[in-house]
Structure 1
Amino acid sequence: MTQILIIIATLIFLFLGANFFIDGAVALAKRLGMSSLLVGVIIIGFGTSAPEIIVSIFAAVDGSSGIALGNAYGSNIVNIGIILGLAALISPILVHRTTLFIEMPILLGISALSFFFMANGTLTRMEAGILLLIFLLYMSYTLLQSKKSQTHMHEEKPAHLLPSWRTVLYLIGGLITLVISAKYFVSAASLLAKDLGVSDLVIGLTIVSLGTSLPELASTVMASIKRQHDMALGNIIGSNIFNTLVVVGVAGMISPIYRIDREIIYRDIPVMIAFSIFLLLFSISRKKEHRINRLEGTIFLLGYLLYLLLLFKKV
């Protein structure tokens, strides 16, 4: 009972810390003259994935590879199965051609690469470094495209910004809150796994991944309510790319994983790839207007429930 209360409390602080960190980062970026598009691509994209990477760093340091990998891949499954499913139920999501023909294939490609790297049951520092290098190349491409799209656009000066002291307070306070809450979150999750007699992988794929996906859930659902389709879908795909490349890459660089659970290789990564494939297929199923309708959203939600049944089948 104590571990559950700690998990709930730390999840709340993870969510609050991420929100403060994002607000401070956006204010700082605006002060540095970054465009709103670049702020969305870099700052918001990183901020909503901050819980995942902080939690996985502590899990890697503690030697809990199941939590580290389960957190990354479980969050990707949650992002499409639950968050995108809910967003599509709220409002059908239009899919931009760039997202359909560039970001989605990239996501599928790096997912397949993850499977290739881990098929032998290990993740070396070199392989982790390759994942991080691919992320740097992807970000370079994204920044280049963002600058091109801004060439003929007039970027309005923001009406008002957070005071400097509040910007610094939000940045530092949000980061400290993330670090401290993540440390206690990982410890409580590991102890809970032992108490329940399940592996830390199952805890990482469920409780940890659901908890660290709260920022994505909040931002994506709000974007869907406001019918900001590019932001809703872009947030999900960007987060999945970040999780696959950076969260896994950083965890592998800190502590190479020489014994990966077979379930990750033959169950969780294939499920993650399957969700990504269906996302692409649903998007191209309509020639005139690419979109994810409520029916597809329902299928994603049902698919996640089936995944949970598969996950706990042997527990």
Structure 2
Amino acid sequence: MVTTIILLVVSIAVILVCAELFTNSIEWLGHRLKLGEGAVGSILAAVGTAMPETMIPIIAILFVGTERSKDVGIGAILGAPFMLSTAAFFVTAMAVWTYTLRRRRTLEMVVNFDILKRDVGFFLPVYAVALGSSLLPSRELKWVTAIGLLITYAVYAYLTLKQEGDLSKDLNPLHFARHVDEPGLLIIVGQVLVALLGIILGSHVFVANLEEVSHAVGVPTLVLALIIAPLATELPEKFNSVLWVRERKDTLAMGNITGAMLFQSCIPVAIGLMFTPWVLDTPALLSGILALLSAGLVYVMMVARGKLSAGTLGLGGLFYVAFVAYVIRQGQSP
């Protein structure tokens, strides 16, 4: 048990260090490619950190192929948008409050609303379709829906990438070339890849040892599967956003989450629609509905008030707690 706890601590440290390497290098990559904040936060950072965990359900569905593996895959696919739109929102709000108290920043979140409204505006109907597709009567309709989701993400990516911008302001030196004013593309990409590899390995070790500790202290299997494991796999996105909040780069911090929400609700869901029955049970549907409510609240507040507050994001924690309470109650039911 002592070794397991040590590995937990070390893995968190590895994820934190690599998250710093990632946020630093992905900003430089965006600068070299002359991309705007939307493209860097909502696509490069979001897809970069979401891709490793996305491969887990895809591999389970496509290459393992058993009924149980497909069920696990569906759960993992739906767990990601839920965790991002509830727990990750809450963690970001906590970071804003914490760094404000430490006088590292102000409480107001300064974001590009065009970027965030586009992200969440795409996510809400797309994820509603993903949930509603469970009711479709035929495989053919599910395939059509899957293709529609892939096309939708392509359109979103095009709109985001074509937005002009430059991240030259407030760029910290690249960690792998601290004394070079304009590091080359090769060293930048090298730091990105090292960071991603460290995040993947650190997350794998963390999840494996967290599961071992959970079993040792008697955490119910249902709680582990639906709450603890998905929460752990979303650590990279949370850490990245916390680091960007510290630097007062709120658009990157939020885009890292909202971009990942849309990616996770399009690409993995399309795979699920094509290669599984895609019949959602009550916990899966509930998590999806809560994700829509949390994201919808943020969207409404942005549109109605023209600003985004840490308080609004913090409400995501209530939706997360509601689901935790439901799962625990289900685990206690005879």
Q: Scaled by the length of structure 2, what TM-score is found? A: 0.70
Structure 1 partner of 2:307: 290
Label 1:12 to 1:205 Cα distance change in 2 as closer, same or farther (>3 A).
Answer: farther
Secondary structure of the residue aligned to 2:329 is coil
Secondary structure of the residue aligned to 2:243 is helix
Structure 2 partner of 1:119: 135
Label 1:204 to 1:138 Cα distance change in 2 as closer, same or farther (>3 A).
Answer: farther
Label 1:120 to 1:196 Cα distance change in 2 as closer, same or farther (>3 A).
Answer: farther
Matched, 1:242 2:244: no
Q: CA deviation at 1:79?
A: 1.9
User: Deviation per CA, 1:45-88, whole angstroms, max 9, x where unpaired?
Assistant: 21121232122223323342333333333222222322222322
Q: Please tell me the root mean square deviation across aligned C-alpha atoms, in Å.
A: 4.2
Q: CA deviation at 1:238?
A: 0.8
- Out of 87, 93, 99, which is 2:92 matched to? 87
Matched, 1:309 2:325: yes
8 A Cα contact 2:11 2:206, kept in partner? yes
Give the residue type in structure 1 aligned to 2:91. L
8 A Cα contact 1:27 1:161, kept in partner? no
Structure 1 partner of 2:35: 35
Secondary structure of the residue aligned to 1:312 is helix
Q: Hey, what's the Cα distance between the residues in 2 that align with 1:218 and 1:126?
A: 36
Matched, 1:137 2:139: no
Matched, 1:69 2:74: yes
Q: Hey, what's the Cα distance between the residues in 1 that align with 2:206 and 2:309?
A: 34
- Out of 287, 293, 300, which is 1:274 matched to? 293
Structure 1 partner of 2:126: 110
Q: Hey, what's the Cα distance between the residues in 2 that align with 1:179 and 1:273?
A: 28
Q: CA deviation at 1:114?
A: 0.7
Q: Hey, what's the Cα distance between the residues in 2 that align with 1:259 and 1:278?
A: 27
Structure 2 partner of 1:55: 56
How many pairs align?
Answer: 301
Label 1:55 to 1:170 Cα distance change in 2 as closer, same or farther (>3 A).
Answer: farther
User: Deviation per CA, 1:152-185, whole angstroms, max 9, x where unpaired?
Assistant: x796999546677756655666666677788899
Label 1:35 to 1:265 Cα distance change in 2 as closer, same or farther (>3 A).
Answer: closer
Q: Hey, what's the Cα distance between the residues in 2 that align with 1:182 and 1:138?
A: 29
8 A Cα contact 1:119 1:265, kept in partner? no
Q: Hey, what's the Cα distance between the residues in 2 that align with 1:251 and 1:10?
A: 30
Q: Which moved more, 1:168-177 or 1:216-225?
A: 168-177
Give the residue type in structure 2 aligned to 1:292. S
Secondary structure of the residue aligned to 1:35 is coil
Q: Which moved more, 1:177-186 or 1:270-279?
A: 177-186
Secondary structure of the residue aligned to 1:290 is coil
Structure 2 partner of 1:207: 228
Q: CA deviation at 1:281?
A: 2.7
Structure 1 partner of 2:177: none
8 A Cα contact 1:67 1:203, kept in partner? no
Label 1:211 to 1:293 Cα distance change in 2 as closer, same or farther (>3 A).
Answer: closer
Structure 1 partner of 2:100: none
Give the residue type in structure 2 aligned to 1:59. A
User: Deviation per CA, 1:132-162, whole angstroms, max 9, x where unpaired?
Assistant: 2211111112122x13xx4xx7969995466
Label 1:228 to 1:272 Cα distance change in 2 as closer, same or farther (>3 A).
Answer: same
User: Deviation per CA, 1:258-291, whole angstroms, max 9, x where unpaired?
Assistant: 15341255312111111111212333443xx412
8 A Cα contact 2:43 2:259, kept in partner? no
Q: Which moved more, 1:180-189 or 1:258-267?
A: 180-189
8 A Cα contact 2:48 2:196, kept in partner? no
- Out of 279, 296, 300, which is 2:316 matched to? 300
Q: CA deviation at 1:107?
A: 1.3
Q: Hey, what's the Cα distance between the residues in 2 that align with 1:15 and 1:69?
A: 28
Q: Scaled by the length of structure 1, what TM-score is found? A: 0.73
Q: Hey, what's the Cα distance between the residues in 2 that align with 1:108 and 1:293?
A: 20
